[in-house]
Amino acid sequence: MAGVAAALGACYTRRVTSPSSPPLQLLIVSASIGGGHVAAARALEEAARARGLEPQHVDLLSYTPLGFRRLYRQTYFDLVRTAPDFVDWLGKRLDRRPREQRTRQERVMARLTQLISRSLLKLVRSSAPDVVLHTHFLPPAILHARRLRLPQAVVITDYAAHNLWLQPGIGRYFVASDEVAAHLQAVGVEAARVRVSGIPISGRFARAPSQAAARAALGLAPERDVLLLMAAGLSAGVLRGLLEQLATLRWPLTVVIICGRSHELVGVAERETARYRPHDAAQAVHFVVHGFTEEVPRYMAAADLLVGKPGGLTTSEALAMGLPFAVVNPYPLQEEANANFLLERGVGLRLEPLTVAPFKLRRFLEDPPRRAAMRAAARALARADAADAVISSLLEEPLAP
């Protein structure tokens, strides 16, 4: 193993010091637990290709047995939906003493996980990348358990850094905000290893059309306000309850509901909105239901307000679009942290309980100065170029092995 590490280190040194060295060999490792980690990795891949690189992007779970893959995904989502208090307790317990050095129990867990990820280790060894760039905390733990000495960087995909993100051997952490950077430094990470880049998102969010152009392209009435409901991640019950409340709102409003790949949520949205019978067409809410769509950047450009769960990527995308965010039913830990980030900085409001949604939404809609102030606050926090900032950092300040 020492020979492999030495060979990789020598290869890396030659590549970054020689004037005629080939482009940076970049391996991006994500994990498809939710969509955010993979979406961030794809944004990094896009930015790297724009710089003339040929990155390799792999999903950790593609290198694990099918049974583990299903269990890992399902267990996580079942827990956060049915036992959020337990998840919150467990997460805070694991985060009591954040640090990069692993405890015995954490080392045992990393080794157990490594046993089901041998294919990933083989890939890393065979590709001999100059840098391994992670958008999930599990892959660096696996590589550390095997004591692979490779230049590694981590992109933290939320507006908080749980202890699980901290791993020995990480040369650089890319974080969403100054607050996260301050936290890492407070728990022992040297300032030189932390970069405030923002959360990587697709370049499409930096190239979005104007609101008027987006509405025209999507066939949305220009004289009506637009609420974009990102339903993916909501339970069927929460979506049903939210739609029931929105149907009581009296305002010239178009509600665009995007359900992602969930056929269940599409069915719920179509059934609930089909039952809606407005008495006053001019002051009625109009509903539009979609499943998966590639037009999310355009819908965000068209919208006046986004309603949904504050995942790290969705939050970052909304900020890039200057879009106020109404938070619904955040998962414990990371989504709660994202919600707090939005609320503290004047970009968000919280629809909790759902029965207050019509009251809060109407108060927002009928207050143009507040709407403008929230848009300005969102734009001030936007980091649409986060993916390019990460790639630029790795190119301009190479990591030592």
The 10s digit of each residue's pLDDT in 199-244 is 999 999 998 899 999 999 999 999 999 999 999 989 999 999 999 9
Q: What pLDDT is attached to residue 8? A: 39
pLDDT band at 40 (very low <50, low <70, confident <90, very high): very high
Q: Where are the domains of the chain?
A: 2-201+385-396, 204-381
Q: What pLDDT is attached to residue 168? A: 85
pLDDT band at 6 (very low <50, low <70, confident <90, very high): very low
Lowest-pLDDT range, 56-60, 171-175, 358-362, 370-374?
56-60
pLDDT exceeds 50 at position 9: no
- pLDDT higher for 354 or 80? 354
pLDDT exceeds 70 at position 266: yes
pLDDT exceeds 90 at position 7: no
pLDDT band at 76 (very low <50, low <70, confident <90, very high): low
Q: What pLDDT is attached to residue 93? A: 63
Measured between alpha carbons, how far is 165 from 193 in angstroms, rounded to an integer?
Answer: 14
Measured between alpha carbons, how far is 264 from 267 in angstroms, rounded to an integer?
Answer: 5
pLDDT band at 283 (very low <50, low <70, confident <90, very high): confident
The 10s digit of each residue's pLDDT in 368-386 is 999 999 999 999 999 999 9
Mention every residue, 6+ apart, whose C-beta is less than 8 A from residue 245.
354, 355, 357, 358
pLDDT exceeds 90 at position 400: no
Neighbours of 150 (CB within 10 A): 23
Find the mean pLDDT for residues 114-141: 84
Same topology, domains 2-201+385-396 and 204-381? Answer is: yes
Residue 116 backbone phi and psi in degrees, to 5: -100, 15
pLDDT band at 74 (very low <50, low <70, confident <90, very high): low
Q: What pLDDT is attached to residue 149? A: 79
pLDDT band at 64 (very low <50, low <70, confident <90, very high): confident
Nearest to 100 by CA among 171, 182, 149, 27: 171
Lowest-pLDDT range, 29-43, 65-79, 170-184?
65-79
pLDDT exceeds 90 at position 301: yes
The 10s digit of each residue's pLDDT in 310-366 is 999 999 999 999 999 999 999 888 999 999 999 999 999 999 999 999 999 999 999
pLDDT band at 80 (very low <50, low <70, confident <90, very high): low
Lowest-pLDDT range, 144-148, 182-186, 199-203, 330-334?
144-148
pLDDT exceeds 50 at position 46: yes
Q: Which residue is associated with the tokens 């409901």?
A: 229
Measured between alpha carbons, how far is 288 from 221 in angstroms, rounded to an integer?
Answer: 12
Which two structure tokens, joined as six digits, stand for 384?
């649409």
Q: What pLDDT is attached to residue 193? A: 96
| Residue type at position 306 | L
CATH fold for the domain made of 2-201+385-396: Rossmann fold (3.40.50)
Q: What pLDDT is attached to residue 332? A: 87
The 10s digit of each residue's pLDDT in 338-349 is 999 999 999 999
Say yes or no: domain 204-381 is CATH 3.40.50.2000: yes
Order of strands, sheet of 56-59, starting from the edge strand that comes earlier in the sequence: 56-59, 26-30, 131-134, 152-155, 172-175, 194-196
**Half-sphere exposure of residue 354, counting CA atoms within 13 Å on the CB side?**
18
Lowest-pLDDT range, 4-13, 78-87, 177-186, 328-337?
4-13
